[in-house]
């Protein structure tokens, strides 16, 4: 069934941030002509970033309200031929898998933009990232948002790849220019690591393209091969394809693509770029990195590996599950030994993404829904955690856990929010993180009984490192150095409270999100479940 | 299955409202209006919950036997076969629990008005206490296992918050953390048990993997009817019910402080005394017992798990009692006594005498709360001194505290005039008479019997040490009796400790099953078919007399050694056996052993992981970078020194061009953006051109 254009909403959602980039560029170019002052320009670009990311978020809500969760097909399709010569199409669409991710991106990017405002900062703090080269910073954030939204909307592999690469550059600059002391090392590491992944994805994409059957483009013209992800999945059976480099074709392509995605998850042993990137990145960039960028990996696996190469995915399921468990337990242990709060939270992200891998490898409906819901919840909780880190860093100018103590007395509101976010992250029942972790574990249990038992150990370790952190930072006698730290200001409240509210609401009533995805994911996983006899 | 007209959900929800109001606005309310506003909110809402629970109880009485009052709210989680409702249910067991929790809990809230007077964190205290009531009531009223787990972890959280209530002392904070982490180890067991239970209900594991065969459910209402399908299934070669039973018991052992996870409870006494009374004696710590009783239909399927429960309970009862005999901190004595009494409850639910176990839970809630609150009253009078060696003679200035403590001692020690005797003796008799375990019933009976004697000894020891002898002076004046908010609660609880007897007067005396047994029988129907050894009334009488005898013996020894605090025998005995005393006084060094093995191993492993991550995994990444750069350098060297002559000219040219191109690397974003735009334009033109040529 060809998908014809039904709506241009996704194009708007994706490219509204790009309009912002364009206008900021224009203002920069016209700066001498219009005799704009640097301060005016800064304020204008901040305003533009707020408007564009806000507009994108509002449109995401419109998308949500118009989305039909009983329809497992693609909705809000925008489909046209892009580059006829290479059979590349401009194909945007949303289904139960991507809708949550698009909404998450819209929300988190807006939160990140708000967190990039200098509101409430002391005047003398001129070197703060929110006061350095503001137009460039805002342009980069918006460009990044566009790339991320594009990845989640794109249903043409080439388009997917283009957006994927677009994300890379702004991230590199955001870390490399506005980052901390070791920003260059971290930025280069991030860049090269993810670029290596992109190369593998490029190769995998080309291999799939040339192995695909002849079909037609959306305008009806015939084509020998296709990048269309839907057609790659439905009209091709790569399981019967021959050998490549001495290995069965689907397996080697799957491995290439999987490593490309695993780097982004990030999966052990490809995870070491993440702590460095997080530690050096400014707060809002960490928010986006943890909230959205880390979801690319799992999303790619679900969007590309699972439907297009089901045989290879079935073949690799034990491997995925084992790496998932390593992520959960190993990273939790590493967390325990961290001294830098931000590094600890970065490693906790690694640990929490392990649940996604474990859940998706089981091919049960609980596992796969748990996986995507875990992505969503992690996308809510970890931005809150990084914002929290930013709050203390802005005030104390360091993040050494041992360097604090007794802050609960001095900053009660902050302490309460930290407590809530930590509890959500350690999976306290009644908050959202619990539901998704429990679903991942419930879903994985019948298939990987012993591996699941080991991962539940991660739950204990997680409690230990979070509580230990609370104890060292907030309890005990107040460290007199910090006897005059101010509690949360309005900007911080504005970013943290909505996230906190979502943690609570989606803990007691998660169905609005689960409803969106359940049916699509069931359909996605059904052939794989059948293949393993579930 | 039941009636859906009564808003049961209000019972846990109201305290949550209280917690929210005091949590969000309490700080300002307290500063503006003072403590009465805080306590008015914090105390009234639990009382309303109590009234609602009582109404629910009446509604339940009106229903046909076997039905429950149900309050269905919304579908909480639904994915595939996994469907869980946000729903509350009240059957006789949860009705009993809800009434006990709201009644004793509300009383302790009143007591706290007096106890927490003039504390900076008054509002925070009531916020946490109300939050605890919410969690505990969710736990007992939950209609399914997953919602029960919300309460289960929620009480753990509140316990953490309240143990560390005076967090400025780091030791309190550490005790709180210890409690939470040990509870989490228990939760590990609970979760695994939960997974096995869920998946083995509607399917089974075989050589070929997992197959679905039937229906799934997590609702307590439908589980008993479905559980039999589980009996024949196995996982890892072990029968599924046994696995589930044992894993659930790990959870119960964490929450209810049984060996080997009891270590957090004595430290938990760092919290304010009303917290110790409410959470660490009357309610939260009994959650494990409640859960095992709730899952009785599962445990009757598996003699192995029943044996584990009964035996661990019996060993814990005795073990904790021995430690209790040598403690000097009055709260520590009561803490080990709680561990020991929880062991008794587990003997009860372990041998299949579910009603006796839960009855002991109920009586214990009264007398132990009373003991703790008396201890709190004493501690206040002594200006936060908890060492019994520095007390004595407090009976004269504090008559109400003294006599309520006395009544509670009578109850816990097991004299047949107060409730503790009836529940404990029923447990011991049922243990002796059971034939459902893998071991003979006299083993748990004997352990429990000795523990009962020790209980009587250490409780009377604490009584004599605290209330008899010479009255000390504290800060220059005599200790005084507490305010009526404190003593009034003591009196009510002491009366409750006596009156609760009437619920469980033994079959042997009355020739009809006791009221509580009849009331709970619809929930514990599965236990009716358990095998007994069939001893007669004569044996039962004999055991009962022996129980009273051992309690009297304990009292006698305590009287002899500690009454009036004049005897020097205790000190001489301790001097004769210093080593044994040291070992027991230091709680057999179990904490130290855990510290040396589990915690050190854990921290070592975490440091090792971090080292591995930094040096090996990341080292390889950086190593790859270094190697690449090395190759590049060699490459460059070959270029420079070998092909130098030939390429020299080219190199010079490249250098010159490079120097010019460098100017584009301005480091300014506008330039880069412009480059990006130009690049895109070039690309578009190029593709246009290419498609014209080839297309």
Examine the pLDDT at B2 and tell me if it is beyond 70.
no
Check CB contact under 8 Å for A133 and B669.
Answer: yes
- How far lies B87's CA from each of A62, A435, B267, B614, B648, in Å? 32, 16, 35, 48, 83
Domain boundary among B585, B600, B625: B585
Q: How many residues does chain A have?
A: 534
Smallest CA–CA distance, residue A365 to chain B, in Å, is: 6
* pLDDT of B501: 83
Q: What gap in Å lies between CA B322 and CA B585, rounded to an integer?
A: 9
Residue B204: which pLDDT band, with cuts at 50, 70 and 90? confident
Q: What gap in Å lies between CA A514 and CA B83, rounded to an integer?
A: 12
Q: What gap in Å lies between CA B137 and CA B116, rounded to an integer?
A: 23
Contact residues on chain A for B167, CB-CB shorter than 8 A: 406, 408, 474-476
Check CB contact under 8 Å for A460 and B185.
Answer: yes
Q: Is residue B252 part of a domain?
A: yes
* pLDDT of A498: 94
Whether residue B94 is found in the same domain as residue B172: no
A474, B164 Cβ separation under 8 angstroms: no
Examine the pLDDT at B467 and tell me if it is beyond 90.
no
A49 token code pair? 């970033």
* pLDDT of B680: 86
Check CB contact under 8 Å for B191 and A369.
Answer: no
A261, A305 Cβ separation under 8 angstroms: yes
Check CB contact under 8 Å for B691 and A453.
Answer: no
Q: What is the 8-class DSSP label of residue B90? A: E
Q: Is residue B542 part of a domain?
A: yes
Number of domains in chain B: 2
Q: Which of B76, B177, B185 sits opposite A471 (nearest CB)?
A: B177
Q: Is residue B79 part of a domain?
A: yes
Smallest CA–CA distance, residue A337 to chain B, in Å, is: 5
Q: What gap in Å lies between CA A390 and CA A378, rounded to an integer?
A: 18
In this prediction the pTM is 0.89
Whether residue B118 is found in the same domain as residue B191: no
Q: Which domain holds residue B59?
A: 1-143
Helix A157-178 and helix A134-153, axial crossing angle in degrees, nearest 10: 150
Q: Is residue B636 part of a domain?
A: no
* pLDDT of B647: 64
Check CB contact under 8 Å for B617 and A268.
Answer: yes
Q: What gap in Å lies between CA B324 and CA B341, rounded to an integer?
A: 11
Smallest CA–CA distance, residue B67 to chain A, in Å, is: 27
Whether residue B156 is found in the same domain as residue B214: yes
Contact residues on chain A for B74, CB-CB shorter than 8 A: 509, 511
Token look-up 């399908």 returns: B229
B contact test, residue of A475, A500, A524 with most B CBs within 10 A: A475
Check CB contact under 8 Å for B74 and A509.
Answer: yes
A418, A425 Cβ separation under 8 angstroms: no
Q: Which of B196, B236, B609 sits opposite A334 (nearest CB)?
A: B609
What parts of chain A have a pLDDT lower than 70?
1, 246
Smallest CA–CA distance, residue B653 to chain A, in Å, is: 29
Whether residue B196 is found in the same domain as residue B129: no
Q: What gap in Å lies between CA A237 and CA A253, rounded to an integer?
A: 13
Whether residue B211 is found in the same domain as residue B66: no
Q: Which of A83, A442, A471 sits opposite B687 (nearest CB)?
A: A83
Domain boundary among B552, B568, B585: B585
Whether residue B553 is found in the same domain as residue B438: yes
pLDDT digits (tens, 9 = 90+) for B106-161: 999 998 888 888 888 889 999 999 999 999 999 999 999 999 999 999 999 999 99
B contact test, residue of A217, A463, A533 with most B CBs within 10 A: A463
State the number of CA atoms in the 13 A half-sphere of A141 facing the CB: 39
A431, A503 Cβ separation under 8 angstroms: yes
Looking only at the bridges linking them, the beta strands covering A75-83 and A243-244 are unpaired
Check CB contact under 8 Å for A511 and B74.
Answer: yes
Whether residue B63 is found in the same domain as residue B173: no
Check CB contact under 8 Å for B167 and A85.
Answer: no
Q: Which of B153, B195, B212 sits opposite A429 (nearest CB)?
A: B153
Smallest CA–CA distance, residue B343 to chain A, in Å, is: 25
pLDDT digits (tens, 9 = 90+) for B351-367: 988 999 999 999 999 99
Q: What is the 8-class DSSP label of residue B471? A: P
Q: Which of A37-51, B98-112, B373-387, B582-596 has the lowest mean pLDDT?
A: B582-596
Q: Is residue B360 part of a domain?
A: yes
Q: Is residue B624 part of a domain?
A: no
Q: Is residue B684 part of a domain?
A: no
pLDDT digits (tens, 9 = 90+) for B212-226: 888 888 888 888 888
Residue B590: which pLDDT band, with cuts at 50, 70 and 90? confident
Contact residues on chain B for A337, CB-CB shorter than 8 A: 603, 606-607, 609-610
Nearest CA in chain B to A426: B184
Check CB contact under 8 Å for B75 and A511.
Answer: yes
- Per cent of chain B over pLDDT 70 is 98
Contact residues on chain A for B154, CB-CB shorter than 8 A: 428-430
Q: What gap in Å lies between CA B248 and CA B190, rounded to an integer?
A: 5
Q: Which residues contact residue B16 at a Cβ distance below 8 angstroms, ignoring those fewer than 6 apart?
A: B130, B131, B134
pLDDT digits (tens, 9 = 90+) for B32-82: 888 888 888 889 999 999 999 999 999 888 888 878 888 888 899 999 889
Examine the pLDDT at B341 and tell me if it is beyond 90.
yes
Smallest CA–CA distance, residue A110 to chain B, in Å, is: 23
Q: Which of B184, B613, B691 sits opposite A334 (nearest CB)?
A: B613
Q: What gap in Å lies between CA A275 and CA A175, rounded to an integer?
A: 12
* pLDDT of B3: 52
Check CB contact under 8 Å for A334 and B695.
Answer: no
Check CB contact under 8 Å for B236 and A449.
Answer: yes
Q: Which of A439, A468, A532 sits opposite B79 (nearest CB)?
A: A439
Q: What gap in Å lies between CA B559 and CA B563, rounded to an integer?
A: 5
Whether residue B59 is found in the same domain as residue B120: yes
Q: Across residues B408-412, what is the average pLDDT?
A: 90
Q: Which residues contact residue B601 at a Cβ distance below 8 angstroms, ignoring those fewer than 6 apart?
A: none
B465 token code pair? 């040490």
Smallest CA–CA distance, residue B87 to chain A, in Å, is: 12
ipTM confidence score: 0.89
Whether residue B193 is found in the same domain as residue B318: yes
* Burial letters B321-332, b for 16+ CB under 10 A, else e: bbbbbbbebbbb
Examine the pLDDT at B567 and tell me if it is beyond 80.
no
Q: What is the CA radius of gyration of chain B?
A: 33
pLDDT digits (tens, 9 = 90+) for B416-441: 888 888 888 889 998 998 888 888 88
Q: Is residue B91 part of a domain?
A: yes
Smallest CA–CA distance, residue B525 to chain A, in Å, is: 30
- How far lies B205's CA from each of A405, B208, B448, in Å? 50, 8, 39
Whether residue B126 is found in the same domain as residue B175: no
* pLDDT of B1: 46
Domain boundary among B92, B111, B143: B143
Q: How many residues does chain B have?
A: 695
Q: Across residues B250-263, what is the average pLDDT?
A: 90
Check CB contact under 8 Å for A337 and B609.
Answer: yes
- Residue A8: alpha-carbon gap to chain centroid: 24
Examine the pLDDT at B664 and tell me if it is beyond 70.
no
Check CB contact under 8 Å for A457 and B188.
Answer: yes
Whether residue B132 is found in the same domain as residue B171: no
Q: Which of B170, B180, B613 sits opposite A467 (nearest CB)?
A: B180
For A464-492, give the DSSP string: HHHHHHHHHHHSSSPPGGGTT-----HHH
Contact residues on chain A for B603, CB-CB shorter than 8 A: 336-337
Which residue in A56, A155, A127, A86 sits closest to A282, CA to CA?
A: A127
Q: What is the CA radius of gyration of chain A?
A: 23
pLDDT digits (tens, 9 = 90+) for B488-527: 888 998 998 888 888 877 777 777 778 888 888 888 888 8
Whether residue B419 is found in the same domain as residue B543: yes
Smallest CA–CA distance, residue A466 to chain B, in Å, is: 10
DSSP helix, strand, coil percent of chain A (3-state; round to 5) = 75, 5, 20
pLDDT digits (tens, 9 = 90+) for B594-640: 887 888 888 888 888 888 888 888 888 888 888 888 888 888 887 77
Check CB contact under 8 Å for B185 and A85.
Answer: no
């Amino acid at each position: 069934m060809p998908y014809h254009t039904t709506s241009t909403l996704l194009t708007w959602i994706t490219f509204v941030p790009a309009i912002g980039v364009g206008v900021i560029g224009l203002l920069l170019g016209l700066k001498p002509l219009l005799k704009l002052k640097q301060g005016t320009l800064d304020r204008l670009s901040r305003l533009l970033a707020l408007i564009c990311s806000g507009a994108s978020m509002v449109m995401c809500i419109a998308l949500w309200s118009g989305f039909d969760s009983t329809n497992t097909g693609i909705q809000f399709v925008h489909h046209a031929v892009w580059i006829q010569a290479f059979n590349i199409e401009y194909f945007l669409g949303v289904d139960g898998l991507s809708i949550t991710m698009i909404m998450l991106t819209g929300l988190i990017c807006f939160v990140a933009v708000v967190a990039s405002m200098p509101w409430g900062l002391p005047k003398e703090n001129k070197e703060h990232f929110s006061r350095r080269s503001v137009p460039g910073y805002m342009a980069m954030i918006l460009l990044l948002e566009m790339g991320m939204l594009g990845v989640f909307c794109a249903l043409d592999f080439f388009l997917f790849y283009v957006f994927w690469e677009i994300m890379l550059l702004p991230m590199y600059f955001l870390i490399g220019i506005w980052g901390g002391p070791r920003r260059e090392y971290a930025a280069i590491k991030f860049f090269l690591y993810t670029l290596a992944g992109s190369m593998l994805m490029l190769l995998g994409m080309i291999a799939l393209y040339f192995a695909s059957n002849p079909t037609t483009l959306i305008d009806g013209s015939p084509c020998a091969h296709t990048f269309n992800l839907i057609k790659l999945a439905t009209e091709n059976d790569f399981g019967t394809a021959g050998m490549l480099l001495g290995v069965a074709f689907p397996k080697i392509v799957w491995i290439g693509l999987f490593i490309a995605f695993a780097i982004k998850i990030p999966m052990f042993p490809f995870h070491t770029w993440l702590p460095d990137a997080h530690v050096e990145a400014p707060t809002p960039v960490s928010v986006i990195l943890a909230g959205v960028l880390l979801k690319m990996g799992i999303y790619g696996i679900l969007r590309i590996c699972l439907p297009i190469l089901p045989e290879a995915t079935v073949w690799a399921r034990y491997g995925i599950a084992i790496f998932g468990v390593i992520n959960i337990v190993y990273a939790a242990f590493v967390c325990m030994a961290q001294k830098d709060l931000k590094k600890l939270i970065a490693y906790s992200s690694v640990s929490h993404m392990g649940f996604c891998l474990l859940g998706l490898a089981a091919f049960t409906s609980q596992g796969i829904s748990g996986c995507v819901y875990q992505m969503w919840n992690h996308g809510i909780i970890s931005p809150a955690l990084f914002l929290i880190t930013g709050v203390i860093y802005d005030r104390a100018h360091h993040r050494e856990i041992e360097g604090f103590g007794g802050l609960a007395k001095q900053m009660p509101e902050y302490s309460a929010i930290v407590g809530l976010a930590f509890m959500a992250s350690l999976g306290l029942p009644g908050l959202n993180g619990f539901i998704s972790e429990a679903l991942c574990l419930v879903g994985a249990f019948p298939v990987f009984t012993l591996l699941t038992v080991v991962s539940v150990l991660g739950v204990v370790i997680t409690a230990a490192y979070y509580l230990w952190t609370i104890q060292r930072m907030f309890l005990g006698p107040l460290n007199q150095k910090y006897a005059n730290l101010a509690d949360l200001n309005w900007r911080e409240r504005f970013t943290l409270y909505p996230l906190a509210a979502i943690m609570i609401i989606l803990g007691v009533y998660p169905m609005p999100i689960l409803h969106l995805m359940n049916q699509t994911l069931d359909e996605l996983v059904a052939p794989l479940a059948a293949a393993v006899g579930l | 299955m039941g009636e859906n007209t009564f808003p049961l959900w209000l019972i846990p929800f109201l305290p949550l409202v209280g917690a929210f109001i005091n949590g969000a606005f309490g700080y300002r309310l307290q500063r503006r209006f003072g403590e009465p506003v805080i306590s008015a909110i914090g105390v009234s809402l639990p009382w309303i919950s109590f009234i609602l629970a009582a109404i629910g109880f009446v509604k339940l009485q009106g229903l046909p036997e076997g039905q429950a009052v149900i309050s269905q709210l919304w579908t909480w989680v639904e994915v595939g076969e996994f469907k869980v409702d946000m729903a509350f249910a009240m059957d006789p067991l949860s009705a009993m629990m809800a009434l006990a929790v709201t009644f004793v809990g509300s009383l302790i809230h009143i007591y706290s008005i007096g106890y927490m007077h003039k504390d900076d964190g008054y509002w925070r205290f009531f916020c946490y206490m109300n939050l605890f009531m919410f969690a505990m009531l969710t736990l007992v009223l939950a209609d399914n296992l997953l919602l029960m787990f919300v309460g289960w972890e929620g009480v753990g959280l509140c316990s953490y918050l309240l143990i560390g209530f005076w967090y400025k002392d780091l030791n309190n904070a550490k005790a709180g953390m210890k409690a939470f982490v040990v509870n989490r180890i228990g939760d590990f067991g609970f979760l695994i048990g939960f997974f096995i239970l869920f998946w083995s209900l509607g399917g089974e594991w075989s050589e070929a993997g997992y197959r679905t065969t039937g229906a799934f459910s997590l609702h307590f209402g439908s589980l008993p009817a479905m559980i039999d399908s589980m009996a024949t299934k196995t996982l890892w070669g072990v029968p599924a019910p046994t696995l589930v039973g044992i894993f659930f018991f790990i959870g119960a052992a964490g929450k209810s402080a049984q060996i080997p996870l009891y270590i957090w409870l004595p430290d938990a006494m760092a919290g304010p005394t009303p917290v110790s009374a409410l959470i660490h004696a009357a309610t939260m710590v009994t959650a494990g017992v409640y859960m095992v009783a709730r899952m009785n239909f599962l445990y009757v399927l598996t003699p192995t798990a029943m044996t584990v429960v009964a035996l661990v309970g019996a060993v814990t009862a005795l073990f904790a009692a021995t430690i209790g005999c040598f403690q000097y901190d009055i709260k520590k004595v009561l803490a080990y006594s709680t561990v020991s009494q929880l062991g008794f409850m587990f003997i009860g639910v372990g041998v299949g005498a579910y009603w006796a176990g839960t009855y002991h839970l109920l009586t214990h809630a009264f007398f132990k709360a009373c003991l703790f609150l008396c201890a709190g009253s004493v501690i206040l009078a002594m200006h936060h001194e908890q060492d019994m060696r520095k007390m004595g003679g407090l009976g004269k200035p504090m008559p109400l505290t003294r006599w309520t403590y006395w009544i509670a001692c009578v109850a816990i020690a097991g004299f047949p005039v107060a409730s503790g005797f009836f529940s404990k003796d029923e447990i011991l008799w049922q243990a002796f008479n059971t034939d459902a375990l893998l071991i003979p019933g006299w083993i748990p009976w004997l352990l429990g019997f000795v523990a009962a004697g020790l209980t009587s000894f250490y409780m009377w020891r604490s009584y004599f040490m605290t209330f008899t002898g010479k009255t000390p002076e504290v800060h220059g004046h005599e200790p005084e009796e507490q305010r009526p908010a404190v003593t009034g609660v003591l009196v009510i609880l002491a009366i409750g400790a006596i009156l609760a007897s009437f619920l469980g007067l033994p079959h042997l005396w009355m020739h009809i099953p006791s009221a509580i047994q009849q009331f709970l029988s619809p929930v514990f129907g599965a236990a009716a078919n358990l095998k007994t050894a069939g001893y007669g009334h004569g044996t039962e009488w004999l055991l009962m007399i022996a129980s009273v005898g051992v309690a009297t013996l304990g009292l006698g020894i305590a009287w002899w050694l500690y009454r009036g605090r004049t005897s020097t025998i205790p000190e001489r005995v301790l001097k004769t056996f210093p080593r044994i005393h040291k070992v027991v006084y230091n709680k057999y060094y179990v904490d130290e052993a855990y510290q040396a093995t589990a915690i050190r191993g854990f921290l070592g492993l975490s440091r090792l992981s971090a080292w591995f991550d930094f040096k090996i995994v990341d080292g390889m990444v950086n190593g790859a970078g270094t190697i690449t750069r090395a190759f590049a350098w060699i490459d460059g060297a070959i270029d420079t020194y070998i092909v130098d002559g030939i390429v020299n000219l080219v190199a010079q040219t490249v250098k010159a061009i490079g120097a010019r191109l460098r100017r584009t690397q301005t480091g300014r974003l506008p330039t880069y953006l412009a480059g990006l735009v130009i690049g895109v334009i070039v690309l578009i033109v190029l593709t246009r051109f290419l498609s014209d040529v080839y297309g």
